[in-house]
Amino acid sequence: MNTLTNADLHCHSVVSDGTLTPEALAQRAQANGVELWSLTDHDELGGQDRAMAAARAVGMRYLTGVEISVTFLGITVHIVGLGMDHNNPALLTGLRATRGGREQRARDMSDDLARVGIKGVYEGALKYVGNPELISRSHFARYMVEIGVSKDTNDVFRKYITEGKPGFVPHRWAKLADAVGWITQSGGVAVIAHPGRYKLTPNEEFALFTEFKSHGGQGVEVMTGAHNQADYVKYAGYCQKFGLAASRGSDFHSPEESHTDLGKLPDLPGSVTPVWELLQSRIH
């Protein structure tokens, strides 16, 4: 395996905020030519056994995965973990705590939306939720499209439920050091997810990368659905600059909503070390 391996190490199932089951994702990934796959549900490992079995059934190699919500300098950033022991007690406890605030946050989001005349969104979003511990803004967005508030989920995020807009409720997620620690102490590799999405200042970005490294983080997503050509070049450069391995993952959530399908990103550039080289012994 090398930089040309068709790896897709970032996507979501109904166990978090995706719309497909782990089995349907495995079949879609395999049909799209994926050779090495990981399901990385938000703050949750409940889909890992199903994903691993489904990958085996279609003849695809598999790495365990998770995407942990982190608050760093008051900003929400996501850290992907790959290759962990998904039964590790400290990892499971940390993720349970990270999921814990979602229920109250969702109720507060709904109250805030009611104040601008959009009522009953908590109850409406619930029918899109596959895992009661993982109600997310994506479920709110799907219900708000259903009731005609917006034409698509992107438009919901543009007008509501993001910073400064109705329905946004600030939330404190896991600490960066804890998230990286849970991943590395359970045998995995921590990866900064879609750094191009955070719109950080150069100082904030330097702080994120250096602190992530100091806690034992080893990778960054270079190829991801949220990045453009300039981001590919920039973050491949960061691999050299910070001594990080590169990851590749579509962040696929849904055939209707995601513009990048499983396995369809460009290959990693030849200049980087693919994160799967660090994870040879963890591949199922």
- Which residues here bind ligand AMP, judged by CB under 6 A? 17, 42, 69, 136-138, 153-154, 157, 253
Q: What is the largest CA-CA distance in the chain?
A: 54
Could you count the other beta carbons within 10 Å of the beta carbon of residue 39?
Answer: 31
- CB of 195 or CB of 274, closer to ligand AMP: 195
- Residue 89 exposed, middle or buried by CB count within 10 Å (0-12, 13-18, 19+): exposed
Nearer to ligand AMP, 30 or 252 (CB): 252
Q: What's 189-225 look like in SS3?
A: EEEECCHHHCCCCHHHHHHHHHHHHHCCCCEEEEEEC
Total length of the chain: 284
Minimum distance of ligand AMP from residue 69's CB (angstroms): 6
Among 9, 13, 17, 220, binds Mn ion (CB under 5 A): 17
For the bound state, the minimum distance from the C-beta of residue 80 to ligand AMP, rounded and expressed in Å, comes to 12
To Mn ion, the closest distance from the beta carbon of 271 in angstroms equals 25
Binding test (CB under 5 A) with Mn ion, winner from 195, 248, 251, 262 = 251
Closest distance between ligand AMP and the C-beta of residue 137, in Å?
A: 4
Q: Tokens standing for 250?
A: 């579509």
Q: Total residues contacting Mn ion (rule CB under 5 A)?
A: 5
Question: Who's near 79: CB < 8 A, 6+ residues apart?
Answer: 67, 68, 70, 176, 179, 180, 183, 190, 191, 192, 193, 212, 217
Q: What are phi and psi of 11, to 5 degrees?
A: -165, 170
In the bound complex, what is the minimum distance in angstroms from residue 152's beta carbon to ligand AMP? 9
Q: Which stretch binds Mn ion (CB under 5 A): 113-121, 161-169, 187-195, 238-246?
A: 187-195
Closer to Mn ion by Cβ: residue 108 or 257: 257
Does the footprint of Mn ion cover residue 78 (CB under 5 A)? yes
Q: Which does 137 bind (CB under 5 to 8 A by kind): Mn ion, ligand AMP, none?
A: ligand AMP
221 forms part of the interface with Mn ion (CB under 5 A): no
Helices 137-146 and 102-115: crossing angle in degrees, nearest 10, is: 40
Pick from 162, 223, 193, 187: nearest CA to 69? 193
Give the residues lining the site for Mn ion (CB under 5 A): 17, 67, 78, 193, 251
